[in-house]
Amino acid sequence: MPDNVPRLELQGVSKKFGKTSVLDRIDLKVMENEFFAILGPSGSGKSTLLRTVIGIERPDEGKILINGKDVTDLPANKRNLSVVFQSYALYPNMTVYQNIAFPLKMRHLTPEAIKKRVLPTAERLGITDILQKNVTKISGGQKQRTALARALVREPAIFLLDEPLSNLDARVRFRAREELRSLQVGLRQSFVYVTHDQFEVSNIANRVAVLHNGKFEQISSFKELYEYPETKWVGDFIGNYPMNFLPASMVAGDGTEGEAGFRTEWIEVSDSGIDCEVQSGETVGDINFLYCVKDDSHFIVKHDRYVEPGSRLKCSVGRCNLYVDGKLVKKDILGQQQR
Ligand SMILES: Nc1ncnc2c1ncn2[C@@H]1O[C@H](COP(=O)(O)OP(=O)(O)OP(=O)(O)O)[C@@H](O)[C@H]1O
Ligand SMILES: [Mg+2]
């Protein structure tokens, strides 16, 4: 299979439930070895998109291609995809081994052949010592790895994961995220990873597609989403803090039309610059977050000192992008930070 044929391609895929349009002419290409993330708020249509790719939902319009072949009319079990759902959907009356072996058994592989695939996969995921345990008796993290192992042994064309970490508690989740990343690097396979949590994919994904109102608002690296959101909506959605927006004339000089968009860490407290009022402040460790207001615009400044609410502060913006009608029209109208 040549590298330039997308492993997965969607061409103008639309899906409605009744009168509600959930997916609106979605185009997408996932390449060989790519970790592709689909990120969007709850209800934005992420699971619907995945279910359409799998073949559980049928698109109203458009085509789905796997390895260049049109599979739009193929049933789910003929598409050679592996899916890990949020719930893991493990078979509760079986052991870890039996769960992982199940898809191979369905393909009528001999017990010997099954063992040859299950053991190395379990080894790679670090679950060899629990293979004989019933899945109701293992931890959340172990369940996740069992579900991944079961998906892996099938040697699918693509891996699809729908919020696979959301059932784990925060601490385990951090580790699971790291494991997933090293797994993908080791596997060199294509992944489509669906989540509402940007921090699950910010370090893993080669590309991230932001789903909003049934369309991809932006498809790029996470760094690009963060530094150069193509719309104000993306700027607001991405990051620990929303991107700040002020009239461009205030930041970049008189006569500049539109709005300047800048991240909190691109602002410096200085003697010159924009005069604003501190409305409230919050201290986290040794950083102070100051909620400032200038005319009707609000923005957050990170500062090494706590400043009493009601005080005035002067800020200068070191770097910003230009937005007109909510859309990015120019990057870095004020220079760029050192990298
Ligand atoms: N079978 C269905 N019938 C009718 N409406 C549906 C159906 N499945 C999903 N929807 C609607 O489609 C929209 C998208 O749902 P979907 O489950 O794809 O969102 P999501 O992005 O996966 O959300 P979450 O992050 O909460 O999992 C929602 O408004 C949902 O109510
Ligand atoms: Mg969902």
Nearest ligand to the C-alpha of residue 196? 1
- Model confidence pLDDT, tens digit, residues 145-159: 898 889 888 878 888
CATH code for the structural domain at 242-330? 2.40.50.140
Q: Is 120 in the pocket of ligand 1 (CB under 6 A)?
A: no
Q: For the chain, what are the domain ranges?
A: 8-235, 242-330
Are residues 292 and 299 in contact, defined by beta-carbon separation less than 8 angstroms?
Answer: yes
How far does residue 46's CA lie from ligand 1's centre (Å)?
Answer: 8
Angle between helices 96-106 and 140-152 (to 10 degrees): 20
Q: What is the 3-state secondary structure (H, E, C) of 61-106?
A: EEEEEECCEECCCCCHHHCCEEEECCCCCCCCCCEHHHHHHHHHHH
Categorize the per-residue pLDDT at 1 as very low, low, confident or very high, splitting at 50, 70 and 90.
Answer: low
d(CA 311, CA 315): 13
* Ligand 1 geometric centre to CA of 66 (Å): 24
Task: Determine the distance separating the centroid of ligand 2 and the alpha carbon of 43, expressed in angstroms.
Answer: 7
214 and 226 Cβ atoms separated by less than 8 Å:
no
Q: State which of 14, 15, 24, 47 you would mutate to test the pocket of ligand 1, scoring each by most atoms of that ligand within 8 A of its C-beta.
A: 47
pLDDT by residue (tens digit) across 95-107?
999 999 999 999 8
d(CA 162, ligand 2 centre) in Å:
7
- Summarised one tens digit per residue, pLDDT across range 209-257 is 999 999 999 999 999 999 999 999 999 999 999 999 999 999 888 888 9
Which architecture does CATH list for 8-235? 3-Layer(aba) Sandwich (3.40)
pLDDT digits (tens, 9 = 90+) for 253-277: 888 899 999 999 999 998 888 999 9
pTM of this prediction? 0.88
